[in-house]
């Protein structure tokens, strides 16, 4: 039998926790035997002293063991899922899930809500009139068989230890610990029971991982966890120094996603959607379909409409439009050389697209639209950004967030111009 002091002291003194210590502390914390302050101390010791691959794998398995595991083996097609570590304008799940389903692979996409400057997939979809996030396991399985894709909230039965741990990390300054981030994400994804998993690990100012080496360490840790659990896992490291697409918000991003499904949309959103789709199909063993064809022939859009309708939404209903807009124009000409993802994310959040506390409501129509991307020429007076909100008193704080968020650089005759950062920075398998 173990006790909390013994486990905390072992990690505080740079020791490796045994399997039985890890199993005991996760179960005891979930059951309320280990106090919040004791688990906070252990989390801080893990943040400061790290964990071995064996410890992280056991910690993840112990979290999974506190709840149920879903089983998709009865479905008539293979399954694949995607997880993004969160970014600004990152609406990729919306076109990706129906696209992969249109290629013959079922997509059980358990998603979350936004907190802080990164948007939440469920908040975006709730901008569609009637759409609901909460499904029973039976409803989820039926929709996967009939439609091929589902995007919904994770049920309370999946890795309940993670919900408690996540809330505690949020208020104790231990969110950044790579072992704790990796085990949090992977415990839910492994318990979900998908056959293949593709991770989109964001890198840059608008991401939780600011540097490439940091993101590579997180990606490698999660890919190892997937491999250890028998889930085919690959990670793409993608740029989040500039926001994705042309919009950040809820209804704004749904409209942009529908454009992509209709065969249009911003080039970067299409590029990343197709790259992730190809990885998911490869992981599921489907290599005879090009997802670009499924965007072009309308079959991905057909699955989108059926997926939205299956969850009570009206795919043809008009989306919310914010009551008020404010346009930011260029004071001088040149080239837009920088549009900072964090600045845009903060502005969208302050306009009402995000929340400060879990229980806060969000505005469906709020957000930021950008009319230029880095590398685009700009003339004095051109529209750079449009801010959307129902509460115009929010404009001032949103504009403050954007004040140092972009650069328009004068161009000299014969200058070399602008070098774009590639969207996909690395691949780890």
Tokens read off for 218: 């997180």
Q: Residue 407 catalytic?
A: no
Looking at 111, 183, 184, 257, which residue is catalytic?
Answer: 184
Looking at 90, 123, 162, 268, which residue is catalytic?
Answer: 162
Which of 155-159, 302-306, 358-362 has the least mean pLDDT?
A: 358-362
Rg (CA), the chain: 22
Taking the C-alpha atoms of residue 423 and residue 403, their distance in angstroms, rounded to an integer, is 25
pLDDT at 20: 97
Q: Residue 162 catalytic?
A: yes
Q: Residue 117 catalytic?
A: no
Taking the C-alpha atoms of residue 106 and residue 325, their distance in angstroms, rounded to an integer, is 39
CB-based burial label for 85 (10 Å; 0-12, 13-18, 19+): buried
Bridge partners (DSSP) listed for residue 369: 247, 386
In this predicted model, what pLDDT tens digit does every residue of 273-311 receive, in sequence order? 999 999 999 999 999 999 999 999 999 999 999 999 999
Taking the C-alpha atoms of residue 146 and residue 144, their distance in angstroms, rounded to an integer, is 6
Confidence at 355, pLDDT banded by 50, 70, 90: confident
CB 344 within 8 A of CB 405: yes
In this predicted model, what pLDDT tens digit does every residue of 308-353 receive, in sequence order? 999 999 999 999 999 999 999 999 999 999 999 999 999 999 999 9
CB 269 within 8 A of CB 135: no
CATH code given to domain 80-310:
3.40.1030.10
Q: Residue 169 catalytic?
A: yes
Looking at 11, 58, 82, 83, which residue is catalytic?
Answer: 83
The side-by-side arrangement of strands in the sheet containing 196-203 is 80-84, 196-203, 232-239, 424-428
Q: Which of 267, 282, 290 is nearest to 99 (CA)?
A: 290
pLDDT at 422 over 90: yes
- pTM (2 d.p.): 0.94
CATH code given to domain 324-409:
3.90.1170.30
Q: Which of 86, 89, 142, 135 is nearest to 110 (CA)?
A: 135
Q: Where are the domains of the chain?
A: 4-50, 80-310, 324-409
Looking at 188, 189, 202, 246, which residue is catalytic?
Answer: 188
Q: Residue 184 catalytic?
A: yes
In this predicted model, what pLDDT tens digit does every residue of 15-42 receive, in sequence order? 999 999 999 999 999 999 999 999 999 9
Pairing state of beta strands 424-428 and 232-239? antiparallel
Task: Please give the CATH topology (third level) of the domain spanning 4-50.
Answer: 1.20.970
pLDDT at 117: 72
In this predicted model, what pLDDT tens digit does every residue of 241-254 receive, in sequence order? 999 999 999 999 99
How many other C-beta atoms are found inside a 10 Å radius of the C-beta of residue 289? 16
Looking at 82, 169, 202, 246, which residue is catalytic?
Answer: 169
* Mean pLDDT for all residues in the chain: 94
pLDDT at 163: 87
- Residue 355 three-state SS: coil
Taking the C-alpha atoms of residue 57 and residue 51, their distance in angstroms, rounded to an integer, is 10
pLDDT at 398 over 80: yes
Confidence at 212, pLDDT banded by 50, 70, 90: very high
Average pLDDT over residues 92-104: 98
pLDDT at 356: 73
**DSSP 8-state symbol, 242:** S
**DSSP 8-state symbol, 118:** B
């Amino acid at each position: 039998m173990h006790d909390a002091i013994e486990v905390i002291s072992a990690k505080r003194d740079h020791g490796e926790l045994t399997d039985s210590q890890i199993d005991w502390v996760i179960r005891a914390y979930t059951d309320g035997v280990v106090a919040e302050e004791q688990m906070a101390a252990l989390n801080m010791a893990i943040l400061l002293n790290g964990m071995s691959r064996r410890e992280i794998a056991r910690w993840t398995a112990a979290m999974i063991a506190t709840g149920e595991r879903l089983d998709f083996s009865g479905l008539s097609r293979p399954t694949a899922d995607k997880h993004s570590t969160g970014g600004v304008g990152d609406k990729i799940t919306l076109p990706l899930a129906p696209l992969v389903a249109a290629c013959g692979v079922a997509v059980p996409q358990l998603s979350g809500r936004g907190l802080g400057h990164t948007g939440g997939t469920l908040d975006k979809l709730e901008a569609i009139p009637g759409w609901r996030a909460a499904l029973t396991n039976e409803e989820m399985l039926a929709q996967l068989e009939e439609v091929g894709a589902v995007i919904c909230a994770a049920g309370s039965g999946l890795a309940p230890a993670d919900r408690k741990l996540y809330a505690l990390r949020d208020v104790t300054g231990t969110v950044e610990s790579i072992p704790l981030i990796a085990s949090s994400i992977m415990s839910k994804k492994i318990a979900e029971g998908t056959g293949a998993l593709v991770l989109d690990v964001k890198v840059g100012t608008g991401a939780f991982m600011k540097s490439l080496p940091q993101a590579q360490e997180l990606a490698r840790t999660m890919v190892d966890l997937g491999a250890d659990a028998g889930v085919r896992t690959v990670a793409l490291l993608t740029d989040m120094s500039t926001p994705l697409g042309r919009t950040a918000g809820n209804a704004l991003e749904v409209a942009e996603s529908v454009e992509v499904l209709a065969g249009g949309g911003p080039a970067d959103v299409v590029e990343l959607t197709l790259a992730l789709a190809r990885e998911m199909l490869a992981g599921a063993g489907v290599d005879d379909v090009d997802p670009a064809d499924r965007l072009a022939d309308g079959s991905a859009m057909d699955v989108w409409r059926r997926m939205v309708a299956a969850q009570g939404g009206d795919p043809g209903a008009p989306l919310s439009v914010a009551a008020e807009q404010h346009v930011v124009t260029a004071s001088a000409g040149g080239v837009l050389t920088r549009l900072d993802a964090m600045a845009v994310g903060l502005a969208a959040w302050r306009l009402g697209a995000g929340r400060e506390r879990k229980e806060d409501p969000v505005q469906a129509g709020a957000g930021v639209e950008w009319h230029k991307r880095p590398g685009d020429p700009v003339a004095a007076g051109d529209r750079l950004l449009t801010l959307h909100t129902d509460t115009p008193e929010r404009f001032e704080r949103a504009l403050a967030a954007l004040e140092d968020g972009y650069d328009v650089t004068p161009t000299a005759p014969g200058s070399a111009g602008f070098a774009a950062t590639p969207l996909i920075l690395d691949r780890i398998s």
